[in-house]
Amino acid sequence: MNIDKKENYNQVCIWPGTLVGQDKIEEFEKFMADEFGTKVQYLEEIETYPDKDDPTTGGRNDLFFAIHNDDVGKFSIPRLKAGIRWIEDVLSKTNYRNKIYPKRVFEYKTWET
């Protein structure tokens, strides 16, 4: 089951290979405010499924979080340096060839790509 996004937190991001943990959520949100000047809502962490072509893969921890609507524009470029991706880019038909996340994450998308 997906985590409900707070009001005005619509753009979901995925930060591959990032571990926060339930006990560090506040620290993560403060880090994002301090480092990027961005208000975020921690959503969840998902362990990836194996790639269909290579069953030895999978098990990577990916962080899902939402950006406040007011901060999307100013976060759009700095996020790239950190390897943070918009969920729409990750799950687009062009990019999402290997089903490494549960189907329910598609409900986090805010528009179709």
pLDDT in tens, the chain (113 residues): 899 999 999 999 999 999 999 999 999 999 999 999 999 999 999 999 998 888 888 899 999 999 999 999 999 999 999 999 999 989 888 787 778 999 999 999 875 54
E strand spans, the chain: 9-15, 40-47, 61-68, 85-86
* Cα gap 57→55, rounded to integer Å: 5
- What's the predicted TM-score (pTM) here? 0.92
The pLDDT of residue 113 is 43
**Tokens linked to 110:** 């805010």
Dihedral angle sign, alpha carbons of residues 88, 102, 17, 52? negative
The pLDDT of residue 53 is 81
* Cα gap 65→93, rounded to integer Å: 21
What domains are defined for the chain? 9-100 (3.30.70)
The pLDDT of residue 112 is 52
Dihedral angle sign, alpha carbons of residues 31, 37, 40, 46? negative
* Cα gap 5→65, rounded to integer Å: 9
The pLDDT of residue 57 is 86
Sequence-ordered list of residues with C-beta below 8 angstroms from that of 43, at least 6 positions apart, any chain: 2, 3, 5, 12, 64, 65, 66, 108
* Cα gap 106→70, rounded to integer Å: 23
